[in-house]
């Protein structure tokens, strides 16, 4: 038995020496800064800290709060809207105004809670007077939502309205032509649908959104 143990110890020592030889000294170092350079999957909190300081576009001068996103970081379903409105800018949270209340009801009608899903926007800062996002603002901000999606890796993304749908799908068709079908974004299924703010003005189209939500539910319920 003792002989076996010695053999194991010497084999391990040999292996460690070999690893040191091949440039893996940082594994044996007590230097925390070296340990921190080991590849670690970026997490949502780290990204959030970075985005909260963002000054990549002019919206950083007029925003009250950056609206990073909120919800379950392990969500199977992610909703992506356009940009924060006034209520979101004040609270620093996505979809908390009138359109947000409708989104909450849509999520609950699907048999889920807001805390089950993750909610974010393409733009993290409010455009003044709720004007539409500028192409330059989308360009400056789209990396943030891309990284959020990479970290969360949901099963399905529901793109709310024209801007989220066209941005994620790199498409220029109107939302009425895009909605109701699944597309792919980095291997993740994307369902474009009408924006809840549009539904507040056009309640007759709620039934179309409900058709789209049923398709999402069916996809989430698979295996």
Of 146, 176, 171, 138, nearest to 57 (Cα)? 138
The site map against ligand URA for 34-73 (x = CB under 6 A) is ----------------------------------------
The site map against ligand URA for 159-198 (x = CB under 6 A) is --xxx-----------x------------------xx-xx
Composition of the chain by helix, strand, coil, percent to 5: 55, 10, 35
Residue pair 137/122 in contact (Cβ under 8 Å)? The answer is no
Shortest CB 25 distance to ligand URA, Å: 48
Write out the H or E segment, with its range, that includes residue 158: strand 156-160
156 vs 199, beta carbon nearer ligand URA: 199
Shortest CB 164 distance to ligand URA, Å: 7
In Å, how far from its chain's centre is CA 68?
9
The site map against ligand URA for 95-124 (x = CB under 6 A) is x-x-xx--------------------x---
**Tokens encoding 152:** 């969360």
Pick the piece of the chain touching ligand URA (CB under 6 A) from 28-36, 56-64, 92-100, 141-149. Answer: 92-100
Shortest CB 18 distance to ligand URA, Å: 54
Distance CA 60, CA 140 (A): 11
Tell me the residue nearest to ligand URA as measured from the CB: 81
* Binds ligand URA (CB under 6 A): choice among 57, 66, 83, 156: 83
Write out the H or E segment, with its range, that includes residue 120: strand 118-121
60 vs 101, beta carbon nearer ligand URA: 101
Torsions phi, psi for 59 (to 5 deg):
-65, -20
Angle, CA of 103, 220 and 155, to the nearest 5° = 85
Task: Give contact residues for ligand URA (rule: CB under 6 A).
Answer: 81-85, 88, 94-95, 97, 99-100, 121, 161-163, 175, 194-195, 197-198
């Amino acid at each position: 038995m003792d002989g076996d143990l010695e053999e194991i110890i010497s084999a391990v020592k040999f292996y460690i020496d070999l690893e040191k030889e091949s440039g893996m000294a940082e594994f044996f170092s007590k230097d925390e800064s070296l340990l921190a350079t080991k590849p670690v999957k970026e997490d949502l909190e780290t990204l959030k800290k970075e985005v909260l300081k963002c000054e990549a576009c002019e919206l950083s001068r007029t925003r009250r709060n950056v609206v990073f996103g909120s919800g379950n970081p392990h969500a199977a379903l992610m909703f992506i809207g356009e940009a924060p409105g006034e209520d979101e800018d004040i609270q620093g949270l996505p979809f908390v105004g009138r359109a947000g209340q409708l989104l909450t009801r849509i999520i609950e009608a699907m048999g889920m809670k807001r805390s089950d899903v993750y909610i974010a926007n393409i733009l993290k800062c409010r455009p003044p007077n709720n004007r539409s996002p500028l192409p330059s603002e989308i360009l400056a901000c789209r990396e943030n939502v891309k990284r959020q999606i990479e970290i969360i890796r949901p099963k399905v993304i529901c793109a709310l309205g024209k801007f989220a749908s066209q941005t994620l799908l790199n498409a220029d068709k109107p939302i009425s032509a895009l909605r109701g079908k699944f597309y792919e974004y980095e291997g993740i299924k994307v369902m474009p649908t009408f924006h809840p703010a549009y539904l507040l003005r056009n309640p007759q189209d709620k039934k179309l959104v409900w058709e789209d939500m049923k398709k999402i539910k069916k996809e989430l319920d698979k295996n």
